[in-house]
Amino acid sequence: MVNDPLRYRFLGMDFASPIVLLSGCVGFGEEYTRIHGFTNTDTGAIVLKGTTLEARLGNSPHRIYETPMGMLNSIGLQNPGTPQVIENILPKLDFSETRFIANVSGSTIEEYAEVTRHFDNSPIDAIEINISCPNVKEGGVAFGNYPEMSARVVAACRAVTRKPLITKLSPNQTDIKENARMCIEAGSDGLAVINTVMGMAIDINSRRPILGNIQGGLSGPAIKPIALLKVHQVYEVARKHNVPIIGQGGIINATDALEFILAGASAVGVGTSLFYDPMTCKKINTGIRNYLEKNNINNVINLVGKLNLDI
């Protein structure tokens, strides 16, 4: 529908909705698109599961633990490796349904660049750089927690692809605005804000950590206030460079999505809520449409960053 108020362009891609399904929550896409009732207007894009150059088995169990208003996960980037994804998984995806974004992960800058180079020669629509992986060469620290290291990863990926690059920023850092600025200057076309917040859970009977990896990423409604603030902070930087943001973290309904859009997100990521309500996207889309109609706004993109700060 040409005049659909939810349809717009994001980094040169036609989005049928501002909703982006987040990496790791719908596998490699086919798990969600075959759900009964799914239509190609439910989402703007689907981000595929994090992919490394070689296959990974992931972390030891337990890998997932439900928390009050959230979920801890420590999957450990289990995936079949880049060649298998490109040769055996991408051909099975229907690119007429929605846009598909690869999620690039690695332990070294060289691995990030090599995975990105492979996806550059694939039908994938865009590439998301997951800079929350451990940097083996630098003592195990996370790339995404240090602006200089984040920028080096982005620059290396930028050098080997012409596809749109979206950098997923970590909340586990001192200055996310500085990180955003350096990633943009290094060549990132868009930003995904935020990744999960680190946490843990303990079994008081065994007195042991519940997750096999001890710590994991917390997602779900519990982190929404943190994510919302980070989007607002990053928007101050991103708008100066005309760089769009995918706002994500605890979105379960249209009100949540609209808050992120007002804070500066051009698209909104949905993930954890899909685990208990696969039809969440339809409900969010309906709620956004109703809000736009009620407020005489002809397209959702016109609502981005319209937060009223006259307090």
Q: How far is CA 122 from the centre of its chain?
A: 20
CB 199 within 8 A of CB 172: no
What tokens appear for 284 in the block? 């969010």
Residue keyed to tokens 């001890």: 214
Q: How far is CA 88 from the centre of its chain?
A: 23
Vertex 260 angle, CA 25 and 112, to 5°: 45
The percent of the chain in helix, strand and coil, each rounded to the nearest 5, is 35, 25, 40
CB 164 within 8 A of CB 127: yes
- Round to whole Å and give the CA distance between 280 and 273: 7
The answer to whether residue 133 is catalytic is: yes
From 133, 157, 183, 281, the catalytic residue: 133
DSSP type of residue 79: B
Residue keyed to tokens 């990521």: 269
- Measured over all CA atoms, what is the biggest interatomic distance in the chain, rounded to whole angstroms? 59
The CA-based dihedral angle spanning residues 25, 274, 100, 291, taken in that order and rounded to the nearest 10 degrees: -140
Catalytic site positions: 133
